[in-house]
Amino acid sequence: MDPSLGQVVVVTGASGGIGAALAEELARRGAKLVLAARRREALEEVARRCRAAEVVPTDVTRRAEVERLRDSAIARFGRVDAWVNNAGRGITRSIAQLTEEDVDAMMRDNLKSALYGMQAVLPHFREARRGVLANVSSMLSRVPFATIRSAYSASKAALDSLTETLRLELAKDFPDIRVVLVLPGVVATDFGTNALGGGPDSRTLPGAQPVEEVARLIADGLWAGPADVYTRPDGLDRVLAHLRGLAGLPGGS
């Protein structure tokens, strides 16, 4: 039996890209979904392709709206079993080009939005003594191979740190609250064209991973397997090679 069956899952950034694909994948596995994003019409279109899906238009950069999302999920289904912080945004700027506003936007959209989700659902998980919290980060948080994504990579690195810290914080007293970090590489979505400052279409980049494949791997990793989910088979190897290179060790890149 698939562990997703009957589970209540909140997915932010569910109107397109990875979030929409994940919602559809979880729906096929029998999950009950609460879909959040700013665009109601796009959310409703995704919901039509899913079963037992609740649509809650949400601006995840506003704490009160994220708390309302949690309350709506509990009111509709009686509980939340898993919460996926997927919403985020890229940027196309080198470090020399970054403005204060650029950095603030990246931290707001990619870090604070996830923090609001974590803080909203954690009391519910602690009361139940179980749950799955997943934060969608990026390979760029660990191997910054795309310098035009400078502030994006930095915001995702900060998200990695918060996720790992929470995992350690909960491990002793709440071992059944699972904290998952998802690290995709280049995915064939409209992420690139939606980045601040525009940029290359991710769907045209060599080796872009199909979004459906990424969604399957995330769904597989919510309830089982390593707590760090690399969606590309060579993901962890690339990180280790990068770290070896920084340390001047053999096998480094």
How far is residue 104's CA from residue 111's CA, in Å, rounded to a whole number? 10
Interhelix angle for 113-128 vs 150-171, to 10°? 20
Note the Cα 87 to chain centre separation in Å: 6
Using CA atoms of 241, 146, 159, 102 in order, give the dihedral in degrees to the nearest 10: 160
How far is residue 39's CA from residue 21's CA, in Å, rounded to a whole number? 16
Structure tokens, 177: 């609250």
How far is residue 251's CA from residue 93's CA, in Å, rounded to a whole number? 31
The active-site residue, picked from 152, 187, 218, 222, is 152
Based on the residue annotation, tell me whether 230 is a catalytic residue of this protein: no
**Phi, psi (degrees; rounded to nearest 5) at 98:** -65, 140
Contact partners, residue 140, CB within 8 Å, separation at least 6: 146, 149, 152, 153, 156
Note the Cα 81 to chain centre separation in Å: 16
User: CB–CB of 47/93 below 8 Å?
Assistant: no
| Residues marked as catalytic | 152
